[in-house]
Amino acid sequence: MNVKSRLPEVGTSIFSVMSKMALEHQAINLSQGFPDFPVSEKLIDLIHQNMKLGHNQYAPMPGVPALRKIIADVIANTYHRPTYFETEVTVTAGGTEAIFSTIAALIGSNDEVILFDPAYDCYDPAIRLNGGIPVHINLKPPHFAIDWQEVQDKITPNTKMIMVNTPHNPSGSVLSESDMLALQKIALKNDLIVLSDEVYERIIFDSISHQSVLKYPDLAKRSIAVFSFGKTFHATGWKIGYTVASEELTREIRKTHQFITFSVNTPIQFALAEYLKDPENYLHLGKFYQQKRDFFLNQIKGSSLKALPCFGSYFQLLSYDGVSAKNEMEMTAWMTQRKKLAPIPVSAFYQDRSDQKLLRFCFAKSEQTLQNAGAILRTI
């Protein structure tokens, strides 16, 4: 067959590559971002109860009403934004589908989308598959701050959207109030849509407040915020997330969502609707992961690798600058094969593969796993 690939340069994702390498070499896997500790027994029991109750068929396309209603209540309480569950909340098959459905709904041929590298690897392909043109702006360590003047300079008559991610994967940086005000100013001035990946909204540290696009009324009107239950409740394999956006934007997102996924796991939706009624089930997540971050940092004391600032997400960047001349992929392979510890090269998150001698480690792991990883890193 004469098959012409629409993504000819895309192969297996770095996450699959590294997880496979970790398995082959029996290495501790701190590459892929998934927890290795249990999901709440209460939440598991609620899912089982709802299965037994017969909630096993298709859910409504936008999501189970009870879940969308409690999501709207949580958003209103958290970000002081009145939110209407019928018209502004859509349950999706994880944050990735939320992002793809949004881009498919709103981006067409030759529309330009500004995004910031290092970026999660689904952003760029989603734009290109829908005919858009990704416009990459590189952020630099150690703070990975956005230069908003550079953003303004990149805007053309074809620019339609800006994508942001806070807390940020892979760097652990977060956007500040001044960042959001700058984003709001640029979006209003240039009539842009903002797609905000906020899947780590609850995983933020050091008494910092998460700055959601939903907190800023003028920005919220033209923004789509994406969230993930998988990240919040340590259950990445469930693939359940949601979008919050104005009625006008939500109407378009649902048009694509219904043909990409249609609906999402029904018993889990009912279980989450009940579980979210108790704020204690999610309000202390930042403290929980801050303890893990600090535990991991304590374990690597004595290593030659240098920790960069991390204010959110469950990833820690370590620099090996001055330790080895290897490029990031070579260092990753060496560490996995020889030291039996698998990280992710940060260059994989840059479109131009910028190599800055940085590795990403996931600390959403048990203390025993982190202790074992720390013992290895202290030998480097």
pLDDT tens digits, 133-166: 999 999 999 999 999 999 999 999 999 999 999 9
- Model confidence at 317, pLDDT cuts 50, 70, 90, reads very high
Task: Reply yes or no on whether the pLDDT at 112 is more than 90.
Answer: yes
pLDDT score recorded for residue 10: 84
Task: Reply yes or no on whether the pLDDT at 320 is more than 90.
Answer: yes
For 316, residues 6+ apart whose C-beta sits below 8 A from its C-beta are 172, 293, 296, 297, 307, 308, 310, 360, 361, 363
Task: Reply yes or no on whether the pLDDT at 343 is more than 90.
Answer: yes
Cβ atoms of 242 and 63 closer than 8 Å:
yes
Rounded CA gap, 303 and 176, in Å?
A: 31
Taking residues 278-296, report their average pLDDT: 97
Least-confidence region, from 131-135, 164-168, 234-238: 234-238
pLDDT score recorded for residue 1: 83
pLDDT score recorded for residue 32: 87
* Pairing of β 223-228 and β 193-197: parallel
Residue with tokens 């930042």: 286
Helices within 155-207 (DSSP H only): 177-190
- 70-80 burial string, b = 16+ CB within 10 Å, else e? bbbebbeebbe
Q: Indicate if 41-281 has the same CATH topology as 14-32+284-377.
A: no
Q: Specify the CATH class of 14-32+284-377 in words.
A: alpha beta
Residue ranges per structural domain of the chain: 14-32+284-377, 41-281
Taking residues 216-237, report their average pLDDT: 96
Taking residues 63-84, report their average pLDDT: 97
Task: Reply yes or no on whether the pLDDT at 12 is more than 90.
Answer: no
Task: Reply yes or no on whether the pLDDT at 9 is more than 90.
Answer: no
pLDDT score recorded for residue 251: 98
pTM for the complete prediction? 0.96
- Model confidence at 232, pLDDT cuts 50, 70, 90, reads very high
User: In the CATH hierarchy, which fold is given to the domain comprising 41-281?
Assistant: Aspartate Aminotransferase; domain 2 (3.40.640)
pLDDT score recorded for residue 269: 98
pLDDT score recorded for residue 8: 87
Cβ atoms of 70 and 281 closer than 8 Å:
no
Task: Reply yes or no on whether the pLDDT at 257 is more than 90.
Answer: yes
pLDDT score recorded for residue 136: 98
Residue 188 exposure: Cα atoms within 13 Å on the Cβ side: 12
Please state, rounded to an integer, the average pLDDT across all residues of the chain.
Answer: 97
For residue 120, give the amino acid letter: Y
pLDDT score recorded for residue 248: 98
pLDDT tens per residue across span 203-226: 999 999 999 999 999 999 999 999
- Model confidence at 58, pLDDT cuts 50, 70, 90, reads very high
Taking residues 15-33, report their average pLDDT: 93
Taking residues 256-270, report their average pLDDT: 97
pLDDT score recorded for residue 241: 98
